[in-house]
Structure 1
Amino acid sequence: MSSIPHVDMSQYASDFEGFVQAIGEGYEVNGFVALTQHGIDSDIIHNALDISRELFALPDDVKKKYHLAGQGGARGYTPFGTEIAKDAKHVDLKEFWHVGREVEGTPKYAQLTPNVWPTEVPDFKQRMLTIFNELDKLGRRVLEGIAVYLGEDRDYFESRVNMGNSILRPLHYPPIIDEGTPSVRAGAHEDINVITLLVGSREPGLEVLSKSGEWIPVTIIDGAIICNVGDMLQRLTNGVLPSTTHRVVNPPAPYSHKSRYSIPFFLHFNPDVVIDALETCYGEDNPKQFPPITADEYLTERLREIGLIK
């Protein structure tokens, strides 16, 4: 059983009103849901995970050729032991690769920089772009339901995310050699972006902080995609939809002796979108908690906090 509610994405087409209530209530209570019947072919997911394993099996000196210093890890490879959760004392035990939106011609936003592709793994580009596009489409359907739940037009988010600097992150947590390390695979954090969609990794480790202050293990149901609220959406909704703290702890043996792979997709607003509380989300009982800020300003601020921008 999963510790987070399930949302049947087939309702999007068959019973949109029911879908709106399921997605909205799930997020308002938990900040996390598991999307079932989401329509993304399992082969697309498995092919992406398989090619990620191939990528991270490359020698370190080869992978580091694709680390772009000074760019905050926006594209290409970020080495093991680089990222640190906000306010944490120890770096995370992970390495990852960032794939952004592919844009033909000159992009509208300077933040949409070219992707970096490893020549040593020729199928990586096609498989990553395929799953990027599928998760982007799925995320926009989720946002339609959220918009209506919040009292906005169904297409409220479309013009605000259609050229967002969204990121696909193939992620590798290597085997834990030092069982006494103070570091964990991913320290307690909230995601920066609008919503996150997570595929892969059925191994234990992912935990969500409940409102009562307990850490709840999350089991990924076979074929489901976990989708959670990020800080940008929490800010837009003035806290009505919470960005829930989560982490990836070091699992017990034998899982700790194995690599863990997953691929989160961080869906972002267009860089110039001003994040300011929706009128339906504040009032006398819930005054505005945050000042307005552009998505790009907020992202830059947060990337500094986690060590990706110095």
Structure 2
Amino acid sequence: MGAMTADPTGFHVPIIDISPYVRHGDPADRAVVAAQVDDAASSVGFMQIVGHEIPPAVIEEFTAVMDDFFALPLEVKKAYCAPPEINRGYAPPRSESLSLSLGVESAGRMNDFFEAFNVGVEADEYPDLDLPEEHYARNTWPDVAHFRASVSAYFTEARRVAHTLTRIFADALDLPPDFFEGFTDHSLDVLRMNNYALPPGEVELDGELTGMGEHTDYGIVTVLWADQVKGLQVLDKEGRWHDVTPADGALLINLGDLMARWTNERWMSTLHRVKPPIVDGTIARRRSAAYFHDGNIDAMISTLPSCVGAGSRYSPITVGEHIGAKLAGSRAGRPNPYARREAERVRQAMRRGGLGQQ
């Protein structure tokens, strides 16, 4: 297992080669990968993966059309906005506050300084199921050359990687190989493209500059492509923030709240945030794209029998209830009633001073 550049505190995000699973390799090699994932999920909640075999050309074309869209004038991009309850389309700067998805208000206003564009799984993909349109909404495709084709190609690859990861998770947790398939065969997946470098004059700043507020991801697992630019920070168990950048060719992987619920916190959904790097008074260019693998809307998530131990820390909840409450916090400003344990983790970090420090 590899590691990032040494951190003075010893913190690192491990690098794991998942090719034995991608290429259906030797069982012994797969067992090594599963053990590495278990260790990373238990100790850090983040990992880097290589050997995922997403073609470089797919990533290059995807990031090129992402750049083309974000280069459009703000008023043009705003034409692709959706209502807060619809997790699709364009989200302008300062229209969200990710800390509210935890039920914790870290600022008195929506102040997350990033813009985003979301696409996701549509109900039409599963005509035999009566899926709610508000969760499996139709995508809005901007009038940008090759955007739909290039984004869809990357979406397909990221979905494949996410399903490969849940197969690894099953082995790591001593579950049947197909355990997660029944929870993800019409998974509520969303790809969010983020941009942190905005032209001067589009947004007036007041208060502390926040790229993306402290939060945990909502679902099962997140597959993140990101520039090799500082900005992403991960909170360790001592309440200290650490910069995390991907190694060459690596994808960053982190676990969501549903996986923490499933495993009774054997595996953690780690708090993270984005603090845009400032160079000579301007925001350095940074882009990312997060594929959120969230599970079936009607799936009931309860503690795995092997992880109950002395008792479950969480009550059962459906994916729809959980995701709906998280989005109502981040996009509509309504406190999340289901995030008591996650919110307490934020408050503990605040008491230690962690959320105000690098």
**In the alignment, is the contact (CA less than 8 A) between 2:14 and 2:47 conserved in 1?**
yes
Counterpart position of 2:79: 65
CA shift, 1:99, in A, is 0.6
TM-score by length of 1: 0.93
Distance 1:72 1:112 in 2: 11
C-alpha displacement of 1:249: 0.9
For residues 281 and 223 of structure 2, what CA distance do their matches in structure 1 show? 23
Partners of 2:116 and 2:193 within 8 A in 1: yes
> Could you tell me which of 221, 233, 238 is aligned with 1:195?
221
1:74 aligns to 2:87 (yes or no): yes
Report the equivalent of 2:15: 6
2:261 alignment partner in structure 1? 235
Structure 2 counterparts to residues 77-88 of structure 1, below 5 A: 77-86=90-99, 87=104, 88=106
What are the residue-to-residue correspondences of 1:1-310 with 2, within 5 Å?
1-2=4-5, 3-12=12-21, 13-14=24-25, 15-69=29-83, 71-86=84-99, 87=104, 88-89=106-107, 90=109, 91-102=111-122, 103-104=124-125, 106=127, 108=129, 109-110=131-132, 111-118=135-142, 120-175=143-198, 181-254=207-280, 256-284=282-310, 287-308=311-332
Distance 1:159 1:59, change over 3 A: same
The amino acid across from 1:306 in the alignment is S
- C-alpha contact (below 8 Å) 2:126/2:186 kept by paired residues: no
- In the aligned structure 1, how far is the partner of 2:333 from the partner of 2:295? 19
Quote the residue 2:347 is aligned against: none
- Report if aligned partners of 1:192, 1:230 keep a CA contact under 8 Å in 2: yes
Q: Look up the SS of the partner of 1:77 in the other structure.
A: strand
**In structure 2, C-alpha distance between the alignment counterparts of 1:250 and 1:239, rounded to whole Å:** 30
Structure 1, unpaired ranges of 5+: none
For the 8 Å contact 2:223–2:252, the answer to whether it is kept is: yes
For 1:123 and 1:220, locate their aligned partners in 2 and report how far apart those are by CA, in whole Å. 27
- For the residue of structure 1 that corresponds to 2:82, the secondary structure is coil
User: Structure 2 CA distance, aligned partners of 1:132 and 1:83?
Assistant: 23
Give yes or no for contact 2:65–2:145 (8 Å, CA) kept in 1.
no
Greater shift, 291-300 or 85-94, is seen at 85-94
Q: 1:81 to 1:274 in 2, by over 3 A?
A: same
Cα distance change on mapping 1:180 and 1:76 into 2, 3 Å: closer
CA-based RMSD: 1.9
For structure 2, the residue ranges without an aligned partner over 5 or more in a row are: 6-11, 335-358
Check the 8 A contact 1:24/1:145 in 2, yes or no: no
Which secondary structure does the structure 2 equivalent of 1:43 belong to?
A: helix
Q: 1:47 offset after TM fit, Å? A: 1.3
- Structure 1 stretch displaced more, 179-188 or 7-16: 179-188
Q: How many residues align?
A: 306
Question: Contact conserved, 1:73 with 1:98, CA < 8 A, in 2?
Answer: no
CA 1:281/1:176 → structure 2, altered by over 3 Å: closer, same or farther? farther
